[in-house]
Chain A
């Protein structure tokens, strides 16, 4: 029996009067890759941003319902602790342009004022960059600015930055939509590597990607969670006609 790490019950989120996530109930198992797919504007990104409480930073954004990590209510924890446990990678690579590659990886410690001995820092940087298969490409230019890297490398640097904090969950908000096909496949390969240590929740509007990388898939439509099941079942034998229509391309 797989253990659940993130659980939401009757979870709602809105921007002002615009109700974008409606009554979502979901159990996310540990050390799996979960794809969240759906057409644009279906609330999938908003739902993702609710998990690490980035949603509430937008003026007028509200949420209600229960969201837990390891049975602890996320909305009763301090957001800083939540975000240390739940890392996030964004749609567009966003390394800190003022920092070197090395400092970007260690940014979660450095910029938070967490003191780490030099040897330990070096270990974290090497470990994180190795995890994202970037170490060999950048080990000789760790002191260069992160913004010199290519888009795909920058995105892997951002994943390394999130991994360096040793979170339990990693959220990916359409992580490959700004990348070329080769970088995309490199990042997708990473997902398989990373799930041994972390739980991955990946928002994507790309169905093929969901089918390729995930263990379970959730389908959002108009703010509702329409269906949530094993990826194989979702793509071969969906129960809901809306899922069926979506994966067969009848609407997008």
Chain B
């Protein structure tokens, strides 16, 4: 082969590598922009007052997002408490029963549920829970739990499916009943996968606004009552960023920063958990 043509091919190779790197970098740019924007606008808002005080009326300086922070944490924790046991047990069922009518349909249903827009889940929660019982944080938690469920179910199923069946058989051969095989062998060995699915699901619902619009509604005061209305970070951001007042807009920036930090921390935690709890097969 001629030297020139080889050189041309080497050059083309470099060109292609450069192109791929540029596009890889392009994937990072949006996140960098968002981070830069939110951090630069939000970080100046953060102080002790911001985290512990409720918003002040327009015109008064200061004020914080304590009501939304407490609300978000409560709503998400309750949603997780509802969704995690159901999701993990459902995932176990699906991984144990690959074939059959019920597994088939529940698998399809979880997949479809995952694709249902959050606003639709919100409106359903509104008609089912809010109409008969009134606006409450609990109804928001239920709506978010419904959103979490398919993620937990499928990540549990996928994790457990990868475990070798010889593990289960080893348990059965020692005379262990089914529930002990599940709780003492399958779940401990799959912990890292199951937990990372749960954490991602929590991160995913933490920023959901739409279902909370119809359910938890919002509350300008600090509330611990899950049967009453409650504020949440996404709802606060939604309300205040569209308002006409600079104080409120700044509050929204601060809240965005807090929410972003929360989600990033959850993602980081997921990585740590996966590494720490990983069982070498």
Contact = CB atoms under 8 A, between A and B. Distances in A.
A191 B99 CA distance: 39
Given A97-B189, A97-B281, A147-B281, A112 B169 contact: no
Interface in B266-281: 279-281
B173 interface: yes
A30 interface: no
Contact of B169 (A79, A82, A94): A94
A94 B170 contact: yes
A48 B248 CA distance: 73
Contacts of B164: 94
Q: Interface extent on A, as a size class?
A: 20 to 34
Contacts of A7: none
A199 to B, nearest CB: 16
A90 B168 CA distance: 12
Residue of B99, B167, B175 with highest tally of chain A CB at under 10 A: B175
A195 to B, nearest CB: 20
B185 A96 contact: yes
Contacts, number: 73
A145 B100 CA distance: 37
Interface stretch (A52-60, A124-132, A201-209): A52-60
Residue of A82, A111, A147 with highest tally of chain B CB at under 10 A: A111
B188 A161 contact: no
Interface residues of B, number: 22
B170 A145 contact: no
Secondary structure dominating the interface of B = helix
Contact of B185 (A108, A111, A145): A111
Interface in B122-180: 164, 166-167, 169-177, 180
Contacts of A165: 174-175
A190 B223 CA distance: 69
A83 interface: yes
Contact of B175 (A80, A90, A94, A95): A80
Given A97-B189, A97-B279, 13 more contacts: A59-B99, A79-B175, A82-B175, A83-B172, A84-B174, A90-B169, A94-B164, A94-B169, A95-B170, A98-B185, A112-B175, A113-B180, A147-B281
Interface of B: 99-100, 164, 166-167, 169-177, 180, 184-185, 188-189, 279-281
30 contacts: A52-B173, A54-B173, A59-B100, A80-B176, A81-B175, A83-B172, A83-B175, A84-B174, A84-B175, A87-B173, A90-B169, A90-B170, A90-B173, A94-B164, A94-B166, A94-B167, A95-B170, A96-B185, A96-B189, A97-B167, A97-B281, A108-B175, A108-B176, A111-B171, A111-B174, A111-B176, A112-B175, A112-B176, A161-B174, A162-B174
